[in-house]
Structure 1
Amino acid sequence: MEFGRITSEELEKVDFKLPPDRQETTQLLKSNASKKKPEIFVGCAKWGRKDWVGKIYPKGTKEADFLKHYASHFNCIELNATFYRMPTVAQTQGWAGKVTENFKFCPKFTDQITHMKRLKDVKELTDRFLEGISGFKDNLGPIFLMPHPGMAPKTQDTIEAFIQSLPKDIELFVEFRHAEWFSNETAFQAAFNMLEKNKAGAIITDASGRRDCVHMRLTTPTAFIRFVGNGLHPSDYTRIDDWVQRIKSWMEQGIEQVYFFMHQHEELHSPELSKYLIQQLNNHCGLSIPEPKFVEQEMELFGTAAEPPKKRAPRKKAS
């Protein structure tokens, strides 16, 4: 994942401390105050990683079996495959047949809709997309809408019209990327109030080079977090520690669901950091999420893969 990527020299200067929750987030959780135990989902962005063979996939695993093994380690996936290719019912039914009943696919709207057409005149394409993902049935989780990064606040009406055109029974989450959504407070408030009004969630993306996207504004009682690590840099672990404490706070306030998707600029190490996240969630939040299991030989060669470095990077003081 290239979004928010910076140089190693720049990385040492980043203040990774999570901002406080927006007042609207606190109010929303307070008004919801669910008494049910929240559902926590942890996953990655793709399952088709050949370099995970011998790591979390058994040696000799065929590509056709990658998803089956992935679903034995994680309970969801941020499905970027549908961004690059329009899904079909046969395809999504096949995928759903390889996972457990509680597993969730979170498909991303195809680039034909969001990037090529920029959400205009896309009814036929959208109908095809929704038909395609219908094959997931009960395994369908939130749908991920990323408007083209060039779509600034002046396009809010277009985005809202698209959201309102969608069936009301789908769970939608939106990721804004254009910097003006965050640099202009009036635009920020208008956009996120619009999402809340339309019962659409707001994705929080934690990437080193785009700290503005760590906006801490929930618009539904479900959090959808995209975390972008830096190859198991010490700061990856301290950042995860912060997220665990924030999720714990949200759980105490009544959040209903949390989706946490692990990314790395090089996805090779996403399982290690996911394992660490799950361990800390279980330790600090009273959860019992199953941990990814690494191939035994890999554990013997390299030690416990999810253990953080003994010397952690010191926190950067807020400017």
Structure 2
Amino acid sequence: MRLHVGCAMWTHRSWTGSVVPKNTGSQDKLRFYSSWCNAVEGNTTFYATPARETVGSWAGQTPGDFRFVVKLPRAITHEKRFRGIDDDLRNFLRVIEPLGPRLESLWIQLPGSFAPGDVAALDQVLRRLPREHRYSVEVRHPLFFTDPTELNNLEKVCAATGTEWVPFDTTAFFAGGAPTSDAEREAWERKPRLPRRSTALTARPIVRYLGRDDETKTVAGWQHWVGVVAGWLQEGRSPTFFLHTPGNHDAPALARRFHDEVRARVPALEPLPEPEPVEPETLF
């Protein structure tokens, strides 16, 4: 029984001095993050495919039970829309090989313009992908959430290949009142407004949750997920929960708090290890 929790990134300027020591080199920031959380969203691969050696360094900085959910490059999902992607996909799969068992899932995030009429193309890609990896899909077109026929069609496509459907739950964020900071205003403009989805299709469900700057509102908004995730664990599933806030300043600590709240309902769940200590700054 295992619950993986994490954030949208493993480095953030505001984490200096709390999650990572000051003057920590880029090659060590993931190591300190991985003592706080046991999973991370691999968003960087969406924008550019890293060098294989870089991916090897990610594996080297993390313990064996750490998990990456790695996003497919936007060239594949957004620009080429699954057409003529064989070389891009082959190269990407080669690059991420060093993650080995640390790769929890390859995450196919699709644009809002990816509509029900495009599902056939997704189906073809999923059936061609190598079966040694797990896959997860995130969609943002409203019809997948509001039209039962289109919802069922996408579920069937995912189920045929053991692919998970990743919800990005922003309902608590948009229900929390008008934005109160620049970060909240940016999220208000950019984040999707979709109904909450709580159905797991596989033994490895993945959830993305967006809270508010106000910790009280963030915690209140995730109570639904505490119950759902606890239920998944009791069913024998191994979920992954990613905690987002508009500024992400306290995201690692909040992810750990979520894990603690789930563990209070599922005492058999092992606690997260204590984070690696960050040495306080001294005068000399």
TM-score range, shorter chain: 0.7 to 0.9
Cα deviation per residue 1:38-73 (whole Å; 9 max; x = unaligned)? 221011111121210112112332333111111111
What RMSD over aligned residues (CA atoms) do the two structures have, in Å?
Answer: 1.9
Q: How many residues align?
A: 260
Q: Give SS of 1:212's match.
A: coil
Name which of 203, 210, 226 aligns with 1:221: 203
State the partner residue of 2:219.
Answer: 237
Q: CA deviation at 1:295?
A: 5.0
Q: After superposition, where does 1:57-76 map in structure 2 within 5 Å?
A: 57-76=20-39
State the partner residue of 1:273.
Answer: 254
State the partner residue of 2:144.
Answer: 181
Cα deviation per residue 1:117-154 (whole Å; 9 max; x = unaligned)? 11121111111111111121222211111122211001
TM-score, structure 2 normalization: 0.85
Name which of 259, 266, 271 aligns with 1:285: 266
State the partner residue of 1:314.
Answer: none
Q: Distance in 1 between matches of 2:231 and 2:60?
A: 36
Runs of 4+ in 1 over 6 A off after TM superposition: none
Q: Distance in 2 between matches of 1:297 and 1:283?
A: 31
Answer whether contact 1:50 1:63 (CA < 8 A) is retained: no
Q: Distance in 2 between matches of 1:201 and 1:86?
A: 23
Distance change >3 Å, CA 211–CA 147, structure 1 → 2: closer
Q: Distance in 1 between matches of 2:77 and 2:45?
A: 12
Asked whether 1:123 is paired with 2:86, we answer yes
What letter corresponds to residue 239 of structure 1 in structure 2? G
Cα deviation per residue 1:286-317 (whole Å; 9 max; x = unaligned)? 1222166475869xxxxxxxxxxxxxxxxxxx
Distance change >3 Å, CA 288–CA 250, structure 1 → 2: same
TM-score, structure 1 normalization: 0.76
Q: CA deviation at 1:216?
A: 1.8
Alignment gaps of 5+ in structure 1:
1-37, 299-319
Answer whether contact 1:222 1:255 (CA < 8 A) is retained: no
State the partner residue of 2:6.
Answer: 43
Identity of aligned residues (%): 24
Q: After superposition, where does 1:52-91 map in structure 2 within 5 Å?
A: 52-91=15-54
State the partner residue of 2:164.
Answer: 201
Alignment gaps of 5+ in structure 2:
175-191
Q: Distance in 2 between matches of 1:205 and 1:292?
A: 28
Q: CA deviation at 1:239?
A: 2.1
State the partner residue of 2:244.
Answer: 263
